[in-house]
Amino acid sequence: MILGLRRTNPYRELEKRLGYKFSNRDLLEMALLHRSYRYEVKDVATDNQRLEFLGDAVAGFLVAAHLYRIHCEGDEGVLTEMRSRVTSGKAMAIAARDIQLGDFMRLGKGEEMAGGRKRETLLADGMEAVIGAAYLDGGIKAAEKIVAKVLIPMMSGKPDEDWMENPKGKLQELSQKLYSHGPEYRCISEEGPAHKKVFVVEAIVGGAKLGQGTGSSKRIAETEAAMMGVRKLLAGR
């Protein structure tokens, strides 16, 4: 193994959340290894960047195939836009946060102290790398299990829905419709130096915490929290 032999599987819970069990755990371990860890730790000569490249392409193909099957009448432009939304860095980061992927990432001390586990780009890259690792481990069927578990549920039901462009507006609309008042955004954490702040915000609707977002500004964190809240309300949870 990349980081030494282990008697137990430290990724059992993550595999449950992914919906796929790796045959070669080294591949999963590599997918979770950020370049900052490789730079700081002796004898670690690889990281997840190549897997990220592969996973991006695999996820794009699988989402495109799914959209082609379920939207028989959608034209190329509509399908392309939908695929872009579901495979965007923001969507990948939300999926990664939903399964708490950041808890399993290997980071260098500097990245850890800078709040790397909450960083959107790091989480998105990690999610793509995991999909790439699954493809190498078990082929397209393996990658498809993860995409079906963590990405496909993010799709809206209609090809013309554009709420992902304005999730705060959509959450406002749903909140007013269901509870006769707008959502509340509550900043629960503000970390890091003044030039590199990391904000964590909760979206609360009807007294329930429906989403949590992280970003370099409160606006970005609120947008991410709203997106999670919309998804839950649309799913009837």
Q: What is the C-alpha separation between 203 and 3, in angstroms, rounded?
A: 38
List the beta bridge partners of residue 200.
189, 214
Q: Which residue has the higher pLDDT, 229 or 58?
A: 58
Residue 219 has pLDDT above 60, yes or no: yes
Q: What is the per-residue pLDDT for 109?
A: 85
Residue 22 has pLDDT above 60, yes or no: yes
Which of helix, strand or coil describes residue 42?
A: coil
Q: Confidence class of residue 114 from pLDDT cuts 50, 70 and 90?
A: confident
List the beta bridge partners of residue 198.
191
pLDDT digits (tens, 9 = 90+) for 158-199: 444 456 667 888 899 889 888 888 899 999 998 888 777 888
Q: What value does the CA radius of gyration of the chain take, rounded to a whole number of Å?
A: 18
Q: What is the C-alpha separation between 152 and 155, in angstroms, rounded?
A: 6
Q: What is the C-alpha separation between 168 and 104, in angstroms, rounded?
A: 30
Lowest mean pLDDT among 116-130, 175-189, 223-237: 223-237
Active site residues: 56, 128
Residue 4 has pLDDT above 80, yes or no: no
Residue 96 has pLDDT above 50, yes or no: yes
Average pLDDT, rounded, for the chain: 85
Domains and CATH numbers, the chain: 12-154 (1.10.1520.10), 166-234 (3.30.160.20)
